[in-house]
Every structure is written in structure tokens, then in C-alpha cells.
Chain A
Amino acid sequence: MTTPPKRILSRRQFLALTGVGAGAVGLVVLFRTGRRYLLDNLDNFSFPVATEPNGWLQITPAGTARLMMTKAEMGQGIQTALAQIVADELYLPLKQIEVVMGDSVTLPSDAMGTSGSTSVATMFPALRKVAAQAREMLKTEAARMLGVGVETLTIAEGVVSTNGQATELSYGSVVGGKQIVAVAEDAPLPLKPRADFTVIGQAAPRVDIPAKVVGGARYGYDARLPGMQFGKVLKPPTLDAKFKSADTSAARQAPGVIAVVEEGDFVGVIAATQEAANAALALIAAQWEERSPLWQQAEIEAMLVPSALGGEVIKEGGDVNAGLRRAAQTISADYATPFATHATLEPQAGLAHVRQENGQWRAEVWTATQIPTGLSAQIARTIGLKTEDVIVYNEFLGGGFGRKVQNQAALEAARLSKAIGQPVRVNWDRSEEFQHGYLRPPVRNFLSAGLDAQGRIVGWDQRQVSGLVLFAFFPAPLRLVFGSDFGATRGAVPAYTFENHRTTAWYIDQPVATGSWRGLGLLPNVFAVESFMDELAQAAGQDPLAFRLAHLGDEPLGRRLKRVLEKVTQRANWSQPLPIPASGWKAGRGLACSVDAKTVVAQVAEVAVNEATGAIKVERVYCALDCGLVINPDGVRAQIEGNVMWGVGSALVEELTVVDGKLSASNFGQYPLLTIRQAPEVVSELIDNPEEGPYGIGEPPLGPVAAAVSNAVFNATGKRLRRLPLRF
């Protein structure tokens, strides 16, 4: 758990909790400390959260609590999970928590954004403190109003009781539209004991779902303003193409065109409809200096090799070379994962209104972003405004998956809007998404391991090479500070206890833009590590389950992993033979496990393989998962199901290559996604472990999927496939 930042709580501190007057939704910010995250306690990429109630919570006259939501709702159910945390600590029923999606100016700032499966893990301790402080302030005020001692008060369902007798007072009447200011001492804050949670741990219906089944939910792509125009911006035809010139005369004459904006290599059209903007852009004749020869896949793949020099040892123990020397047998294999894209079904979107009022520039931007705070600063830099003059309104995200930590469409909209002073919307189309976003980079893992005569791993040497993931978003000097791209290496280091082991990582700059993609390196790296563990089990003549258990330690993490492995194999009847498959098909099952964001996961995949046609069908995936305290069990199950589908898509169908300087797909015709027909049944088992965590859930269940499927294919056919997507 994150400890509170000393800078705030090591001194007496003024706290404020604002009530909302009837009809007026005013927010008074007394102190700005509640709006900042502090960077002085970086722990697993999480940022400590200021825990002053003001800025986070408002109490309405009806006694409901409004929770200001800094996290983007992109389908992971974060609004509901965070509301559950606040409800429990305030002793309010869940339906009395209102979630408010604010804007980049009034919300507490959130440098972490919504990424890395960190939201619940970091916000659980923070929001509990926020809510507990609010509750204690309300109790103190209630005691004053009642003329009784605060120690006589209890609260249930928001109603104040003294010595067990209910009073007329509720949160609403205690605050009554005023602002309570208190001085906090350094005394420890009383938090509700975990054993007393009544809202946390219950399957709560998601607060965002009702609007999503009637078409009422508002996404970034849906933003509209009166008088809004439609923009589209010229893109380079091939990788590394440099802009030379553009003839825009035909576009300027095209029907519906309002303006053509030319600022160096930024060329965009603004028109009265989306169709007119699209048509006009196609009339621009641009000259480019293209790379010669154009980039091809083979050249890019050849970059992915560990060079003799360089490479950063990210984990090492014992003496790997000595271990390998004394091995009875040595096994080597290399695994590869290709480029893949996010394919959020809602493409990038931005509606900007940039204008001068009384000589003062001001920008309003509606979008769907995983990092609203970062985006407002980026927009300000792009169009030469001050960050405080840019306000970003974040709507629902039609999928995030790491794609919406960058918002190119919003930047384009801001530039076009500034040029004409009117609202301009830039909604990307599918081909822009495919060709001009950024991808999951290709990853290779070169593995060697030695087994002793008893089939125990005595040496593990892993060389991991990846295109950029988080380094793509960092200023270059930070590469020297970190040494390895810790996004690319996510999931690379095995959780097993090996006597002698070494993992070395290389990052490679490539001409294709790459970056964050659900789980970052997790799926590619676990595919390699857990497939290789299966190969080693085979070489050792051991059952894949027994082999894994034998290489796990007795420290807490090892015990948690053993538990999910045992649980998932029980559930999948691992020791019983699979039913006989249909004629022409072979059945198999595979096991894999991983640790990510402190959540441990084990999965068994059941597949049917038709070697004659090359068809692989994933019939069923069992998943046992331990994320510590479970906030919303149905939400956790939904994330398991979604991650399984995402992982099966990567295992079976998803791949982009570079052909003649372009990516191989511009729409779903060339890059099909997994369909409902290919979707496996998913059986989830949540481990009861409420005394620790909560840990992340948005990505960890993705870790083992591809490896479990690949191991199942091997089990069915005896063929080891070492490259995704799996093909015979």
C-alpha cells in the first residue's frame, strides 16, 4: 500500500469539505494541495494521491456524495469500483454516490492517468483516506450541532445516530450547503476495517451501463457544438516520408470547404460536413520525399537482434554460465511476437474550440483520453497557449488499451480551430487509426536453459529484444536514466525461483511508431517464458503443472502462484483426459501463469486443432486469479473475459507487417479481429485473499493467454509454435 506523502501529512493541515447548495453546483477550492499528485513516492509507477477531501468529494443537500472522477471510464468499470470504495468508507449505500466526470481544470490533477492497471490499487488507499477524513469532519460537525460528544456518534446509510439512537441529521443536513473547514492533526485516521466492508466485495451493477444500451452514453467521438466544422489533416503516404509541397487549389474549390490550413508540413482542410472534408483532402496533390528503398518487413525484423554490446541486465542471480555448464541437457528456443494494433472501435477524436475573447486566448477541447492532464499541456504547447487557458473535457472512451494516452486527433482539431477561431472536430477514420497511430512493437525472446539429471532448471539465460514501448513517450535522456524500457520488459522476468538466472533486455528504435498497448510487454514476454517452461517440462519428462510447482518458491508470491495453478488445474480437471474431439480434430490443453501489477493469474486453455486445414479453435479458457481484495467481483470477471478474448485474438489472428513502406492493413479486411464465433467459453475462479491488495485487473489476466493456447496446441499436435499468431 502506498504510504501518504509526508509533505502533506507531517504537519497540521487545513482540510475542507464543500457542500453543494440547492441548485448551485459551485466548487470552492480553499487549498490547492488537494489538486496535486506528488511524485516523491514512485512505487510501481503509481503516484501518491493527495487525501484532502476538497476537490474529490462534495456532499449534496440530499446527502449523496459526488465523487470527482480523474480516471477515464473505458469499459473497465472504474467509476463503479471507485464509487464502491467511497461508499463503504462513508457508510453510504452505493446508490448515494454520484460519479462526476469533470474537466482538466476542476478535477484533481492525475499525472498517472488511466493506465498500467493501477487505478484501483492506487486509488483504494487514497480514496479511503479522502472519504474517512470527510466522514470524520461530518461527524465532528454533527456532534457540534447536536451538542454531544463525537465519540457517541455512529453512521449507517448516511444517517447519524448518537448512542445508538437515530437523529434527524444526515450528511446532507450536516453540511447544508456550507463548507466545513477543519484542522487535521497528525493522529491516525480511523479507517473502516476490511472485515466490515459491505459494498466492497459485492457484485455491483456498473453505473455506466444503462446509458450504454440506449445510445445515450457520450463518448469523445460524439462531441458536437453549434456551428462546428469538420477537419481532416494530410498524412504521409509511407514511413519516413518527408513533406515537400502541396497543391491545395482543387481542395479550396471543393464543395463545402471552408478553409485549407497550411503551416509547413501541417496541411488540413475544414469543411461543413465530414464527407466534404474527406473528399477535399483527397484532392490535395502533395509531394513527398520518400525513403528509397521503401521500408519492408524483412529489414525491420532484422533489427530485432540482441547486439553483442549493449543490453541491460534487468535481473540476475547466481552464476548462469556455471549453471549451464553443469546441466545434463541444454535447451534453446526463440519466440517472436509481431506488430499489433489496438483497434479501439472508437477511433481517435477531438473537438476543439480555440478563440480569442477580449484579447485572451482560450481553448476548450472535448475528447476521449487516458490522460486528460497531460493532454491539456500538450495542446497548450502545440498551439502556443498557457496550460491554464486550455480546458479538456473527457468523455467516455470507446476503448483505450493504451491507444488513448496519445491524442493526435485532439491536437489536429486544436490547430485547425485556432486557424479559424471556430469549433472544429477531427474524428479519425479507420485507415488513419491503422496507418498513423502506434503499435505494439515486435518482441523477441532468445532463451537458453539447462536441466540437471533430475529435471531441475540449473541455469536460465534470457535475452529479450523489443521495439520501444514507454521509451517512445519519454524524452531521450530518460533512456539513459532507466537503461531498459520497463514497459517493453513487463512480464519478461520469470516469477520462478531459479538458482542461476539472467534476463537481459535490448530496446530497438524502428521506423514504425510503437508504444503502449494493453499490458505493454506482458503478453509477448509471457508467451515466450511460459511456452519455454512447457518445452523444459517436456524435456524433463515432467507434467507441466508439477514442473512449474517445483520451480516456485515458498515466499508469498510463490505461494500465491502455486495456489492459482492448483486452483485452475482442479477446475479444469487437469488430471482427467479431454473428451474425444470430432473426426479430423485433435484436442489439447495447455497451462500458463504470470504475475503482473502484483496480481497472479493461471490459465488452462482447451483447444481443438485441425492440422489438415490449419484451424485452431480455442474452446474454453479457465482462469484462476488472485488480485488481493476484490472490489467488484463481476467487474473482475468481466476483465478476465475481455482479456481472454484479447489474448486469443493475439494468439490466433492479429498481425501487422510493413509492405512497401506502409502497414499491411488500413481496415478490418486486412486485420480481422476475433469474432463471436471464435470466442471461447471463459470460466473464472477468484481467489479469496481480502487482506492484501487490491491489485490491478485491467491487464494481468492477459499475461498467460497466448502461452496457454500455444501449449495446448503442442499438447494436441506435438508441434511447438514459437511465433504469434500461431500458424502451422
Chain B
Amino acid sequence: MQLTINGQTYEAGDLTNRLLVYVLRDELGLTGTRFGCGAGLCGSCTVWVDGQATRSCITPALQVVGKALTTIEGLADTYPAAELHPVQQAFIDLQVPQCGWCMSGQIMTAAALLNHTPAPTDEELLTALKKNYCRCGTYHRIKLAVRQAANTMGGAA
């Protein structure tokens, strides 16, 4: 069976009873999508399905056949104006990651927010990100970085 990920078609094998997170990581080697809880609670595994931030650890792979998937490995390509997506760039500029395990999920969630809501209020930002845990506690910098990315992308702060 085939999956469309980051604009490419992947041969993904038999997807019966398979979860998207394991197909991405174990079958296709797209390990940038991280496993954290297996229950859709921590956000580490967040990818885009047709542009919507989605928890891949509770998503049956069969459900996304024929849809456009975007993972952290392909995020930069969705923003041709720069080498990196502004959220990624801001996370570097503000030195956000510590261990980094949750960061793909944080970045995919934040970038999806800015796609839909270019100038989020504090409340919108916190609501979008409150289900993405960061155990190292980089929350303070995440807030600053998402605001910087919003500015870069043209949304007012």
C-alpha cells in the first residue's frame, strides 16, 4: 500500500492493524516523528494529515491512505521562501530545544496553528500548544519562539 508523505509516494507494505507512528518510524525510517505515550496525550508524534495537526500514535495507517501527510522532515519544504520553516528557525534562534524529543510535535503543532491563525492571541497560542508536553520545561522559550515565527510569517504579534 502507498502513502503520500512530504510530497513523495512511499511503498508502505500491508497497513492492516498498523499505526501511523510505527509505519513512519519503523517501516519508512522517518524517525523524526517521535513516540511518547501511545494514547494521543503528549503530542510528541504530531504530524499533519491534509494540513491538520494529528496524533500519529492513535491514527490507523489505513485511515490516511490517499491523504497528504507532512512530517517534520518535510516541514521546511512547505515554506519555500526560506531554508527552514519560520517556526524551525525561531526554535534555533531562541535555542528552544533541550533533549529535543518533543520538539517535532511542538513545531508541527505550532506551524499548523500559524497556517490557520497567522496572528494568534496568547490564549489561542496556549490553547493550541497545551496538549504538547515538554518534560525539559522549555515552555517559556516555546512561547517566545512561536511569536517570533508569527512575526516572520507576516502575522502581527
Binding site for B on A (CB under 8 A): 74-77, 205-206, 208-210, 212-219, 221-222, 224, 230, 273-276, 279, 342-347, 396-401, 427, 429-430, 634, 638, 641-646, 649, 667-669, 673-677, 679-682
State whether B137 touches A668 (Cβ < 8 A): no
Q: Which residues of B contact A345 (CB under 8 A)?
A: 34, 36, 42, 44, 99, 101-102, 133-135
**Which residues of chain A are within 8 angstroms of B32 by Cβ–Cβ distance?**
214-216
How far is it, in angstroms, between the C-alpha of A400 and the C-alpha of B75 when the chains are bound?
28
A347 to chain B, nearest CB (A): 8
Name the B residues within 8 Å of A219 (CB-CB): 31, 34, 101
Contacts A676-B139, A679-B139 known; A429 to B98 CB distance under 8 Å? no
What class of interface size applies to chain B in its complex with A? 35 or more
Instruction: State which of B18, B92, B96, B102 has its C-beta within 8 Å of the C-beta of A273.
Output: B18
In whole angstroms, what is the CA distance A437 to B138 when docked? 24
Partner pick for B26 among A224, A347, A398, A638, CB 8 A cutoff? A224
| B32 CB, nearest partner CB in chain A, Å | 2
Chain A residues, CB < 8 A from B31: 215, 218-219, 222, 224
Top 4 closest pairs, chain A to chain B, by CB:
A215-B32, A645-B137, A398-B101, A75-B99
Q: What residues of A have a CB within 8 angstroms of the CB of B99 in the complex?
A: 74-75, 344-346, 396-400
Q: Contact at A213–B140, with CB atoms within 8 Å?
A: no
Quick one: closest A residue to B125, CB to CB? A676
Interface string of B63-83 (1 = CB under 8 A from A): 000000001110110000000
Q: Which residues of A contact B76 (CB under 8 A)?
A: 214
Complex contact A213–B103 (CB within 8 A): yes
Answer whether A75 and B136 are a contact pair too, CB < 8 Å, given A214-B32, A214-B72, A677-B126.
Answer: yes
Check A399/B135 contact, CB under 8 A, given A216-B32, A273-B18: yes
- Separation in Å of the A542 CB from the closest CB of chain B? 33
Collect the chain B residues with CB atoms within 8 Å of residue A213's CB.
Answer: 84, 88, 91-92, 96-97, 103, 107
Q: B133: which A residues are within 8 A, CB to CB?
A: 345, 668, 673, 675
What are some 26 contacts across the A-B interface (CB < 8 A)?
A76-B98, A77-B98, A209-B96, A212-B103, A214-B73, A215-B73, A215-B104, A218-B31, A219-B34, A219-B101, A221-B34, A222-B25, A273-B18, A273-B26, A274-B26, A276-B17, A343-B135, A346-B36, A396-B99, A427-B35, A430-B39, A641-B140, A644-B137, A673-B133, A676-B139, A676-B143
Q: Which residues of B contact A645 (CB under 8 A)?
A: 134, 136-140
Contact of B137 among A206, A212, A634, A679 (CB under 8 A): A679
Asked if A75 contacts B98 (CB within 8 A), the reply is yes
What is the CA–CA distance of A142 and B101 in the complex, to the nearest angstrom?
45
Q: How many Å from the CB of A349 to the closest CB on chain B?
A: 10
A676 and B134 within 8 A (CB): yes
Does the CB pair B98–A217 fall under 8 Å?
no
Q: Which residue of A lies closest to B90 (CB)?
A: A213
Judged by a CB distance under 8 angstroms, whether B54 is at the interface is: no
Q: Check B129 for interface membership: any CB of A closer than 8 A.
A: yes
Number of cross-chain contacts by CB at 8 Å: 175
Inter-chain contacts of B104 with A (CB < 8 A): 215
* Contact pick for A208, options B18, B71, B100, CB 8 Å: B100
- Whether the pair A430, B137 counts as a contact (CB closer than 8 A) is no
Bound CA–CA A275/B57 (angstroms)? 11
User: Which residue, B38, B98, B142, has most C-beta atoms of chain A within 10 A?
Assistant: B98
Q: Which residues of B contact A677 (CB under 8 A)?
A: 126-127, 130
Question: Within 8 Å CB of A397, what residues of B?
Answer: 99
Residue from A342, A398, A638 within 8 A of B34 (CB atoms): A398
Chain B residue, CB-CB nearest to A644: B137
In the assembled complex, the CB of A372 is this many whole angstroms from the nearest CB of chain B, namely: 17
Report yes or no: A396 in contact with B100, Cβ–Cβ below 8 A.
Answer: yes
Q: How far is the CB of B42 from chain A (nearest CB, A)?
A: 6
Q: With a CB–CB cut-off of 8 A, which chain B residues contact A215? A: 30-33, 71-73, 104
In the assembled complex, the CB of B23 is this many whole angstroms from the nearest CB of chain A, namely 9
A345: shortest Cβ distance to chain B, in Å?
5
CB-nearest residue of chain B relative to A425? B26
Q: Say if the beta carbon of B19 comes within 8 Å of chain A.
A: yes
Q: Mark B142-154, 1 if CB is under 8 A from A, else 0.
A: 1100000000000
B41 proximal to A (CB < 8 A): yes
CB–CB B97/A641 < 8 A: no
Residues of B within 8 A of A217 (CB): 100
B143's closest neighbor in chain A, by CB?
Answer: A676
Q: Which residues of A contact B130 (CB under 8 A)?
A: 675-677
Contact of A346 among B34, B127, B134 (CB under 8 A): B34
**A642 and B137 within 8 A (CB):** yes
CB <8 Å contact, A275 and B18:
yes
- Least Cβ distance of B6 to chain A in Å? 11
Give A279's nearest chain B residue, CB to CB: B17
The residue in B72, B133, B137 that gathers the most chain A C-beta atoms within 10 A of its C-beta is B137
CA distance A401 to B136 in the complex (A): 9
A490 to chain B, nearest CB (A): 20
Contacts of A344 in B (CB 8 A): 99, 101, 135
Evaluate contact between B136 and A399: CB separation under 8 angstroms: yes
Query: Nearest chain B CB to A203's CB is how many angstroms away?
Result: 8
Cα-based distance from A682 to B36 in the complex (angstroms)? 26
Given contacts A214-B76, A430-B39, A668-B37, contact A224 B29 (CB under 8 A): yes
Least Cβ distance of B59 to chain A in Å? 13
> Beyond the given A77-B98, A682-B140, could you list 4 further A-B residue pairs with CB under 8 A, ordered by the A residue number?
A216-B73, A398-B34, A645-B136, A646-B135
CB-CB < 8 A to B34: which residues of A? 219, 221, 345-346, 398
Residue of B95, B97, B100 ringed by the most chain A CB atoms within 10 A: B100
A206-B95, A430-B38 given; A681·B140 CB < 8 A: yes
Q: Are B22 and A209 in contact (CB under 8 A)?
A: no
Question: How many angstroms between the C-alpha atoms of A274 and B139 in the bound complex?
Answer: 32
Given A634-B95, A677-B126: A75 in contact with B38 (beta carbons within 8 A):
no
Distance in angstroms between the alpha carbons of A649 and B138 in the assembled complex: 13
- B56 in contact (CB, < 8 A): no
Tell me which residues across on chain A come within 8 A of B98, comparing CB atoms. Answer: 75-77, 638, 642
A667 to B57, CA, bound (A): 14
